[in-house]
A and B are shown apart, each in its own frame.
Chain A
Amino acid sequence: MTAPRANLLRDSLVVFVNEVRIQFRDGHVLLSSLLLPLLLYPLVFWATGEFITVGKGSVEKTASRIGVAPGLTGEALVRRVGREKNATILPVEDGLAAVGVGDVDAYLDIHQNGAERAAVTVFYDASRPRSVRAKQRVDLWLVDARNEALADAFSAASGRRETAVVFLRDVKNVATPKEMGGFLLGLLLPLTMVGMTTMGAFYPAIDVLVGERERSTLEALLSSGASRIAIVAGKYLTVVMAALLAGTLNLGSMLLTAMQFLRAFGDVPGEGFSLPGNAVPILVLGSLLLGAFFGAAMILLASLARTFKEGQSLVTPFYSLSILPAMVSVYPGFHLTPGSALIPVANVALMMRGALQGELATGPFLLTVAWMLSLTVLLLMFAVWFFRQEDVLVGSSSGSLFAYLRRRFERPRPAVRVADFAGRGAAMRGKGAP
């Protein structure tokens, strides 16, 4: 009797399509891969924007209550500050206590420093926005008062007040909108991409294998015409797709929302603030590398689990730790070098930041891609090997990686293997299945 021939690619695609259907009918996957990336940023930025608008408006409209010692209200400097429309001068006995309890927003401690020079210490409460704003205002008022005093002195000495402008108080940002976009997104985006990609891979990675055990569908699947490699490949593709979807949706949603936000509230040029165009392919590549790597690692870990709970226990430590290497991308001192290109996850995060900030070197970039692909292939080979172990398949692995490895390595050759199968075990394994 001639059996239909198995086809790795076709069978993998059959498993993949089915898994996608199953996964995207699951609420957890929909939430982590689609809804969260799409809704998280608009919601967070909207809430933050509302908070800033309301908070900033409220603080700006309110006059700052400036406390001074009762005997100093007639002091020239105090009178100068008192002329500001946003200032209210209040005499207080104990300035520090008054600031502490919020009776005044800032306290000016004016004292003599040397023969004729007045020194001012500004006390404020950095934990209260009103006090912080008062301190900012006082800073400016003191500069203006000093400039006026200098101009008066210059005028008295030379008789020409119009030339007595000491300095101009103004600042200009010389960065282009693209540079600003690259800089700000470079700090924010790689770390978030790593977080979202791992989140996108988390549930599918556990469910594609453990779900088969929990539903008791694994035996039916293993006795079907698809090879074990095709089964693992199809399931792996599903996990990568979920991770990639979460990563790229996250990227798009975050970019659009962040740009709107920065235009509205940020200290960046509104018109033309944009993502460097040549960074987009690198970002997509980065997302793909992360998805492929996390998918392979998580499937490998989850393959030992007998229940979803065990799967979570096995994958969660990796999930939590995976964000750590990516944190280097928020520190300006780190760059993608041949050395850092060998640190998984950190290398991709630095690669994405480098692309956004226009400082990506070709050598470390290529090394990052090659190294991540190599690690992914290695992890996948382990995953396939695991999936072909009977004690993994029948769930006698205790749901613990360490317990499994200890069991395998404490005895030279497990009896469950085909040691006595008259030399046919090698032939079976060599033929790809089981």
Chain B
Amino acid sequence: MSVVVRVEGLGKTFHDRSRGPVDAVRDLSFEAHAGEIFGLLGPNGAGKTTTLRMLATILQPTSGRASVAGHDLADDPPGVRASIGYLSGDTGLYGRLTPREVLRYFARLNHYPAERLTARIESLVARFGMAEFADVRCDRLSTGMRQKVSIARAVIHDPPVLILDEPTAGLDIIVAESLLRFIEEIRGLGKCVLFSTHVMREAERLCDRIGIIHEGKLLAAGSFEELQARSGKRYLEEIFVQLVEGGGGASL
């Protein structure tokens, strides 16, 4: 499988007025491939969101380098952005627009070919069962409907990489399940998915490989089976606790 996302020694330091410089991400390195779901697993404040925001060019790294779909984060941010679909758990929608208008807007922002735009929108409307509310303003939609629109918005330009930052946060079980199924489906289409979560079961179920991150550092990375073998533990929770209490991933 070809490497689609390559991260080398990535770091991010924020300045906090009371605490001084705070290293949110430290010397992070990993690779993710086409047709693979790579999960960043860690508790709140571990640095998952900061990492994904850097890869989405929303934040600038303070050290290291990364490339997405062959586009260097530093040298070609527009190329990176054109290659990704970004969705976080708290991403909202334009309440005064309809789902169709939202999809059209982001497709055009991402330079999706105009001649294929309508067909693409209609295929996503059908795929996510949005036909009944595709022309209703988003501020009148339920949470589940809004989530469908958000996912469709993230993939409207058919990007090779999807960056999903805790996308199931706050969703009920049915909506979350349908989202997880969709993520599995797009993996089958050869897309690379970067997926962050603090829910162990989601990581176990979905991810081909998991990076365990804590206090900005990647403690270990590998498939679930590899992590089990290296730690001698059965469950991801146990592996995670061992890594965190051990203070690093040297043993893994």
Which residues does A use to contact B, with CB under 8 Å? 1, 3-7, 11, 14-15, 18, 21-22, 25-26, 215-217, 219-227, 390, 393-394, 407, 411, 414-422, 424-425, 427-428, 431-434
Q: CA separation between A5 and B81, bound complex, in Å?
A: 11
Q: Are B60 and A3 in contact (CB under 8 A)?
A: no
Within 8 A of A (CB), among B97-113: 97, 101, 105-106, 108-111
Q: Are A3 and B106 in contact (CB under 8 A)?
A: no
Instruction: From A22, A227, A416, name the one whose CB has the most chain B CB atoms within 10 angstroms.
Output: A416
* Bitwise interface map of B from 41 to 63 toward A, beta carbon under 8 Å scored 1, else 0: 00000000000010011111111
A407 to chain B, nearest CB (A): 7
Q: Are B93 and A415 in contact (CB under 8 A)?
A: no
- Tell me the total A-B contact number using a CB cutoff of 8 A: 147
A394 to chain B, nearest CB (A): 8
Contacts of B153 in A (CB 8 A): 220
B76 within 8 A of A: yes
Beyond A22-B97, A217-B91, A433-B57, is A416–B109 a contact (Cβ under 8 Å)? no
> Ordered nearest first, which 7 A-B pairs have the shortest CB separation?
A216-B92, A3-B82, A4-B111, A415-B15, A223-B86, A3-B79, A424-B74
Contacts of B188 in A (CB 8 A): none
Q: CA separation between A128 and B147, bound complex, in Å?
A: 67
A412 to chain B, nearest CB (A): 11
Q: Are B77 and A428 in contact (CB under 8 A)?
A: yes
B78 to chain A, nearest CB (A): 5
B88 within 8 A of A: yes
Closest to B55 in A: A223
Q: CA separation between A224 and B70, bound complex, in Å?
A: 17
Contacts of B70 in A (CB 8 A): 1
Beyond A22-B94, A217-B93, A219-B56, is A14–B78 a contact (Cβ under 8 Å)? no
Q: Are A1 and B60 in contact (CB under 8 A)?
A: no
A429 to chain B, nearest CB (A): 8
Q: CA separation between A215 and B65, bound complex, in Å?
A: 31
Q: CA separation between A60 and B162, bound complex, in Å?
A: 80
Q: Are B15 and A411 in contact (CB under 8 A)?
A: yes
Closest to B84 in A: A223
Contacts of B71 in A (CB 8 A): 1, 3
Q: CA separation between A418 and B21, bound complex, in Å?
A: 13
Q: Are A421 and B58 in contact (CB under 8 A)?
A: no
What are 15 A-B contacts defined by CB distance under 8 Å?
A1-B71, A3-B76, A7-B111, A14-B109, A216-B92, A217-B91, A217-B93, A224-B81, A227-B78, A415-B13, A419-B62, A422-B65, A428-B75, A431-B77, A434-B58
B239 within 8 A of A: no
Q: Are A223 and B58 in contact (CB under 8 A)?
A: yes
Q: Are A222 and B58 in contact (CB under 8 A)?
A: yes
In the complex, given contacts A3-B71, A216-B90, A220-B154, what are 15 additional A-B residue pairs having Cβ atoms less than 8 angstroms apart?
A1-B69, A3-B69, A6-B111, A22-B97, A217-B92, A220-B91, A220-B153, A222-B56, A224-B109, A393-B58, A407-B17, A421-B64, A424-B65, A434-B57, A434-B60
Q: CA separation between A326 and B23, bound complex, in Å?
A: 50
A299 to chain B, nearest CB (A): 18
Contacts of A416 in B (CB 8 A): 13-15, 62
B96 within 8 A of A: yes
Closest to A15 in B: B109
Q: CA separation between A432 and B79, bound complex, in Å?
A: 12
Beyond A3-B79, A227-B78, is A14–B15 a contact (Cβ under 8 Å)? no
Q: CA separation between A224 and B71, bound complex, in Å?
A: 15
Q: Are A421 and B91 in contact (CB under 8 A)?
A: no
Q: Are B78 and A390 in contact (CB under 8 A)?
A: no
Q: Which of B63, B65, B75 contacts A431 (CB 8 A)?
A: B75
Q: Which of A1, A5, A217, A418 contacts B61 (CB 8 A)?
A: A418
